[in-house]
Amino acid sequence: MARKPKRDLTVEEQLARGPLDLPFLMLVLLLTGIGVIMVFSASYATAYLQEDKSPTFYFFRQALFAAAGLTVMYITSKINYQTFRWLSVFALGLAVLLLIAVLIPGIHTSRSDGVKRWIAVPGIGTFQPSEIAKVAVIMYFSARLSKRNTEKPRRLSPRSPLSGVVGFLDRIGFLELVPYGAILLLVAALMLKQPHMSGTILVLAGGASVLFAAGIHWGWFVAGITGVGGLLWIVITLTPYMTNRINLWLDPWSQRQGLGYQTVQSLIAIGSGGMLGRGLGNSIQKMLYIPEPENDFVFPIVVEELGFVGGLVVLVLFALLILRGYWLALNARDKFGALTIVGIITLLAVQVFLNIGVVTNLIPNTGISLPFFSYGGTALMIQLGEMGMVLSISRQIPPPKHD
């Protein structure tokens, strides 16, 4: 029986089969591996004292989600990233629907403090719709703004009474920003209803980074930061939930045995690590001094056990990953790929900064996790999926030209 001749690959298929960026891949794998180990070390005591859990409960779940996330990353990296263009519309629509759904009683998980951020998935656990919203906004903005210089501007008839006003707004770039501003305001409003201040900041940062990289005039960012800063200040002062966090930030020691307990213990853990740390697994603060040390406050355990040197190594790895990501953006095949990487890497950078800032009391407690390190299955899988998108774009970077 004669074999069918192999079909020649199209140019797009050939480009999508290029090599992955090895430095970026190795940094992601290294951070993920260290993160899983630190979840095991930080959560051992907590899980041991919970009657319905084994000491390795959090470790095995995080390792399982890490394996699943790495699989998602690999599959995503094999997809031609141009596919993400048309998927961006559906991703944004899904994100908005989930942000609305999480506000409906009976869908979100109930908490005594009134926070509505999670949706329960039977047999898996919970997830935050905000995680999907972060990447969905980046995808949609990148897809739209990548065509910014090719779309023909819409003009009103010179006889129209609004032509003068519209023309002025168009010249200063206001009309171009209206749809993007509307999307950011809608997503931010839904997230503030949860309330989820840290998630709101991340969505705004991711969207703003794509707008900035696309060439939007810097003056709009000054105006936007001023406006958003004023709005956040109003929300903070009028929301008891956020006002308490600001007061704790200013003087956590005044409530050392109360609401400031976690921050104080975090500072003690970081300070007691010294230069080389107590040794892996030998943290004292994880022995029920820091509440849930495997979550947002995992970095103090890293510093306590591995010392200043270990904490610095982790931060250097993050810095290298971020710098490599921006290098990939500069060398991306097209504008859509470049903008997507800029948004994803900026999101990662801001999240790392906010988490480290919180655990060192540099900024108020925002309840934000440390990428690849904090316990949380769906968040880790989505983060690794985002890294897969970056790797997919890296496959199509043109090879260097040799003279």
Mean pLDDT by 10 residues, the chain (403 residues): 52 64 95 94 84 82 93 93 91 90 72 65 70 91 83 55 53 71 88 80 89 81 77 72 71 70 86 88 84 87 93 96 95 92 95 91 82 88 94 86 57
DSSP H or E stretch at residue 126 = strand 125-127
Q: What is the pLDDT of residue 355?
A: 92
pTM: 0.85
Cα–Cα distance for residue pair 207/201, rounded to 1 Å: 10
Residue partners of 108: CB distance under 8 A and separation at least 6: 101, 102, 116, 117, 118, 119
Q: What is the pLDDT of residue 181?
A: 86
Cα–Cα distance for residue pair 170/158, rounded to 1 Å: 14
Q: What is the pLDDT of residue 170?
A: 57
Q: What is the pLDDT of residue 1?
A: 47
> Which sign, positive or negative, has the C-alpha torsion 127, 199, 305, 66?
positive
